[in-house]
Structure 1
Amino acid sequence: MLGSAGEGEARRRGQTVEAGLGGAQRVNVSFLLAELLGSKRKQKLLSIHQALTSDPVAVEALRGAAVSEGGLLTEEIRRKVWPKLLSVNVYNLPPRPGRTVCRSHKDHNQVQLDVNRSVRRFPQGMRAEQRQVLQEQLIDLVLHVLKAHPELCYYQGYHDIAVTLLLVVGERMGAALLEKLSIHHLRDFMDPTMDSTKHILNYLMPILQRESPRLHDFMLRAEVGTIFALSWLITWYGHVLTNFQHILRLYDFFLASHPLMPVYFAAVIVLHREEEVLACDCDMPSIHQLLSQIPQNLPYESLVSRALQLFQRHPHAELAKQAALQHHKSISIGSFAAFQLATSRQHPDTVLRRQQQDGAHAQDEAGAPLPTVTHSPLVKAAVWGISATLGAAALAVTQTALEWAPEFLLQLF
């Protein structure tokens, strides 16, 4: 598995060596660097595969892969790992969201307005008719979860999280993932009032105070508050970032972390821009305008690494005592320990698939089971290539590969 500084450190060392070499030598160093990074990628893929095929699933190893440098690497891997991070059985998904029923929901008009304004969240160059189909699915997905949980209140920005899930895993699995997120990580944002959301935002300033008293006091004097970070947290930065790969990297990180991690990430963004903030006029409009606009070229990997360090250095329980936040009961924070325990008891997909196939006679009208895997010559060649490239350790990992995920293995080459 890659460490938080693995690939970045390798690149830095390669660049340092290359600086003192001639042209031919630089080519050789670049080739060796590419080989090193490729090997690390293969090792990470095999580590993820091994975690997914363990029984029970090695969820801690998957979390480690999701937060380490590069995250989960590809959307295909995310389709395998995200459900495990949220304890979703992909062989027992809920029925496809029903359009007719959802249209009668009280929030339908507001959701439709928000989705209609979310054109930029879809891939550039997508044909209008394709986007319209996805937007209809997005509306149904959001309303499906709200209808299933009347205690949850829709908020503007919720659809930004839903669209990311839809684009990666599709409508049916997206509904299952969104439901789990809504009753756990996002639960405080879905109360009838803003009290719980304000409570989550209030963790930001104590982190800044501990890391940079000078910056904290400057922002306090300016009375800027924390509202500049509201859209960051409630959309998991999906509304404010334009690069979809950056959004996916953060979703890997947040799905594998404590519900307060987006707050810690907000803190590292502010700390990263400390000199810009201190160069502003000490007033609310100036600082709010600066901070509410996130630069699109942030060093995401180093910020993720720093957020992890802050989370360990400043536990949220200590922050709550410092800011007298313990008087408000956070559902997201309070339910997280039980949620983590549930994720540790999952079977791998091979077992879940056998269970689903054994109960095929009881399948509902929602659709056929997910297709079984076929063994193509290309997949067999991929398995042989793994053993040749990484040796005996890879053979142990790939014993069940053919019946698990051939498309995953092909990413090794």
Structure 2
Amino acid sequence: MRSGRRRQQAPGCAARAGREVRQNHKDYHQVLLDVRRSTRRFPPGMPEEQRQILQEQLTDLILHVLRARPELHYYQGYHDIAVTLLLVSGERMAVALLERLSTLHLRDFMDPTMDSTKHILNYLMPILQRESPRLHDFMQRAEVGTIFALSWLITWYGHVLANVHHVLRLYDFFLASHPLMAVYFAAAIVLYREDEVLACECDMPSVHQLLSQIPQDLPYEALVSQAQQLFQRLPPRELAKEAALQLHKSIAIGSFSEFQQAASCQRPDAILRQQQQHLTPHKAEAEGLLPPAEHSPLVKAAVWGLTATLGAAALAVTQTALDWAPEFLLQLF
């Protein structure tokens, strides 16, 4: 009887111990504040009780990665990426993916200072200079800098776009691309709005206010294509000197070629198919391989594209994913 009572008390004790570990983390209070402010990132109409459970999972997800990787430093905006992964893939897979991305694509944002992030942003102006000297010179005269794109970059646009399908499409794209692709996409946005920018007063407040507000009705699919074309025409190695990165090494960029080689045999669609062949839909959902049924309003093409990528992304994020994704998505519907 006594041992039975001890066993009954153990879960409560374990839960309290878990809460204490979580609350003792140095970033706990900041993470909690950011998670509480993330209400708009959840699907409209989601029951409050369900949202609160997901916010608890979001807090645990972030703190788990930070505890597992003490060299990483939390930044405001990290939770915007974490919540997207959580909503699409479920808690179990989101942990693996977020930890992997934090050591690769997001690594420079998680340094103790903003130096690496600032240097990553330095790629933006050389792209604009090559594509539109007139626009580049105007922005230089206005002294607007690149800070307007900071929240775009560190949240993968999750914080600034209201349409979840646009967010998921970009996550598909960035997961399958070079770590700098978010900067190339920023350049595509600025170039698309060139006429608006040139019509502004040539001063920092006017240009910054215009550029910091992303229109929600931009042709995002066309901008994805343009960003890819910019990357092909102006690869990072050609811009590194102008971006002054020869003085500051990027961990994300430096590790990407090795990561690509390790990922060269990964086929996310094949992995997902193998998983689905051995699991019923109910069991696949329980295992975190499919989005939960209550998230069904989000299960559109973009979500399936991301979920397919996630099938291999716990091991690797492959740059060739875009080659197979469109055909694979057509087979799912």
Pairwise TM-score range, normalised by the shorter structure: 0.7 to 0.9
Relative to structure 1, the CA distance from residue 229 to residue 192 in structure 2 (aligned partners, 3 Å threshold; closer, same or farther) is same
* 1:158 Cα deviation from its structure 2 partner: 0.1
Match of 1:209 among 85, 105, 129: 129
The answer for the alignment partner of 2:254 in structure 1 is: 334
- Alpha-carbon distance between aligned partners in 1 of 2:244 and 2:330, rounded to the nearest angstrom: 52
Q: Which protein shows a greater Rg?
A: 1
Matching of residues 269-308 of structure 1 within 5 Å: 269-308=189-228
Unpaired runs of at least 5, structure 2: 1-17, 280-285, 290-327
* 1:103 Cα deviation from its structure 2 partner: 2.6
* 1:198 Cα deviation from its structure 2 partner: 0.3
Relative to structure 1, the CA distance from residue 291 to residue 350 in structure 2 (aligned partners, 3 Å threshold; closer, same or farther) is closer
- Alpha-carbon distance between aligned partners in 1 of 2:172 and 2:272, rounded to the nearest angstrom: 23
- Alpha-carbon distance between aligned partners in 2 of 1:337 and 1:284, rounded to the nearest angstrom: 37
* 1:99 Cα deviation from its structure 2 partner: 5.0
- Alpha-carbon distance between aligned partners in 2 of 1:130 and 1:238, rounded to the nearest angstrom: 21
* 1:409 Cα deviation from its structure 2 partner: 9.6
1:87-116 CA deviation, whole Å, 9 max, x = no partner?
xxxxxxxxxxx6553232110100000010
1:379-411 CA deviation, whole Å, 9 max, x = no partner?
xxxxxxxxxxxxxxxxxxxxxxxxxxxxx9996
Give the residue type in structure 2 aligned to 1:324: A
Relative to structure 1, the CA distance from residue 208 to residue 351 in structure 2 (aligned partners, 3 Å threshold; closer, same or farther) is closer
Relative to structure 1, the CA distance from residue 239 to residue 350 in structure 2 (aligned partners, 3 Å threshold; closer, same or farther) is closer
- Alpha-carbon distance between aligned partners in 2 of 1:111 and 1:213, rounded to the nearest angstrom: 41
Relative to structure 1, the CA distance from residue 324 to residue 121 in structure 2 (aligned partners, 3 Å threshold; closer, same or farther) is same
- Alpha-carbon distance between aligned partners in 2 of 1:246 and 1:131, rounded to the nearest angstrom: 21
Relative to structure 1, the CA distance from residue 297 to residue 352 in structure 2 (aligned partners, 3 Å threshold; closer, same or farther) is closer
- Alpha-carbon distance between aligned partners in 2 of 1:102 and 1:165, rounded to the nearest angstrom: 21
The answer for the alignment partner of 2:31 in structure 1 is: 111
SS at match of 2:46: coil
Give yes or no for the alignment of 1:268 onto 2:185.
no
Unpaired runs of at least 5, structure 1: 1-97, 358-367, 372-407
SS at match of 1:133: helix
Q: Please tell me whether the aligned partners of residues 99 and 140 of structure 1 are also in contact (alpha carbons under 8 angstroms).
A: no
Relative to structure 1, the CA distance from residue 291 to residue 301 in structure 2 (aligned partners, 3 Å threshold; closer, same or farther) is same
Q: Please tell me whether the aligned partners of residues 208 and 267 of structure 1 are also in contact (alpha carbons under 8 angstroms).
A: yes
- Alpha-carbon distance between aligned partners in 1 of 2:223 and 2:160, rounded to the nearest angstrom: 16
Match of 1:135 among 55, 58, 67: 55
- Alpha-carbon distance between aligned partners in 1 of 2:213 and 2:287, rounded to the nearest angstrom: 45
- Alpha-carbon distance between aligned partners in 2 of 1:146 and 1:370, rounded to the nearest angstrom: 21
Q: Please tell me whether the aligned partners of residues 152 and 158 of structure 2 are also in contact (alpha carbons under 8 angstroms).
A: yes
Give yes or no for the alignment of 1:259 onto 2:144.
no
Give the residue type in structure 1 aligned to 2:77: G
The answer for the alignment partner of 2:116 in structure 1 is: 196
Give the residue type in structure 1 aligned to 2:131: E
- Alpha-carbon distance between aligned partners in 2 of 1:412 and 1:210, rounded to the nearest angstrom: 40
Give yes or no for the alignment of 1:150 onto 2:70.
yes
Give the residue type in structure 2 aligned to 1:293: Q
The answer for the alignment partner of 1:221 in structure 2 is: 141
- Alpha-carbon distance between aligned partners in 1 of 2:42 and 2:250, rounded to the nearest angstrom: 33
Relative to structure 1, the CA distance from residue 279 to residue 164 in structure 2 (aligned partners, 3 Å threshold; closer, same or farther) is same
1:339-364 CA deviation, whole Å, 9 max, x = no partner?
111222448548986xx99xxxxxxx
Match of 2:231 among 303, 311, 333: 311
Give yes or no for the alignment of 1:245 onto 2:165.
yes
Matching of residues 62-101 of structure 1 within 5 Å: 99-101=19-21
Task: State percent identity of aligned pairs.
Answer: 77
- Alpha-carbon distance between aligned partners in 1 of 2:287 and 2:143, rounded to the nearest angstrom: 56
- Alpha-carbon distance between aligned partners in 1 of 2:215 and 2:49, rounded to the nearest angstrom: 32
Relative to structure 1, the CA distance from residue 124 to residue 113 in structure 2 (aligned partners, 3 Å threshold; closer, same or farther) is same
1:187-246 CA deviation, whole Å, 9 max, x = no partner?
000000010000000000000000000000000000000000000000000000000000
Q: Please tell me whether the aligned partners of residues 93 and 288 of structure 2 are also in contact (alpha carbons under 8 angstroms).
A: no
Match of 1:165 among 85, 103, 118: 85
Give the residue type in structure 1 aligned to 2:239: L
Relative to structure 1, the CA distance from residue 208 to residue 169 in structure 2 (aligned partners, 3 Å threshold; closer, same or farther) is same
Give the residue type in structure 1 aligned to 2:80: D
1:139-165 CA deviation, whole Å, 9 max, x = no partner?
000000000000000000000000000
Matching of residues 318-397 of structure 1 within 5 Å: 318-346=238-266, 348-349=270-271
Relative to structure 1, the CA distance from residue 369 to residue 100 in structure 2 (aligned partners, 3 Å threshold; closer, same or farther) is farther
- Alpha-carbon distance between aligned partners in 2 of 1:198 and 1:349, rounded to the nearest angstrom: 37
- Alpha-carbon distance between aligned partners in 1 of 2:147 and 2:36, rounded to the nearest angstrom: 25
Give yes or no for the alignment of 1:234 onto 2:154.
yes
1:219-275 CA deviation, whole Å, 9 max, x = no partner?
000000000000000000000000000000000000000000000000010000000
TM-score normalised per structure 2: 0.76
Q: Please tell me whether the aligned partners of residues 280 and 286 of structure 1 are also in contact (alpha carbons under 8 angstroms).
A: yes
1:101-133 CA deviation, whole Å, 9 max, x = no partner?
323211010000001011100000111111100
Give yes or no for the alignment of 1:122 onto 2:42.
yes
* 1:172 Cα deviation from its structure 2 partner: 1.0
Give the residue type in structure 1 aligned to 2:264: S
TM-score normalised per structure 1: 0.62
Relative to structure 1, the CA distance from residue 263 to residue 350 in structure 2 (aligned partners, 3 Å threshold; closer, same or farther) is closer
